[in-house]
Structure 1
């Protein structure tokens, strides 16, 4: 019986990322904001994840946690409109 996680819409990309990491003998660590741990959980569902997954530093799901742990300042969250592409790339906020 196959696991229901990750959901089918994430399973293919998760397998692709995990396979590439294993083939290249590369590792990954994850810090997440909007995903709330989903990226880490999906990668860890792949057999042999301990060979490439080094850890999930922080799951910064709230603006308060981003201020407390990721160096965001109060002024960074004024007018915050959600996780835009620029924010994810680190081009707008820390």
Structure 2
């Protein structure tokens, strides 16, 4: 959601953990809403696990969890891409 080309037209208000955030971004509105829903659901899930955590701690743990998921997905993607490249090389040799 960063304005790299000056075409930052998509505006939406989302609610995360009971707070409404007006957002604008280059991503489509549905993508922004989906991301907000994912963050909200993860924060609420963490709150259920420990009701005594303050909201800032829940937000930090949510960010770490989502970052960990992203790292794992990137690793899987890189491994998959490597396998595909190896397969292409094998196919060319035949």
After TM superposition, the score normalised by the length of structure 2 is 0.34
TM-score, L = length of structure 1 = 0.34
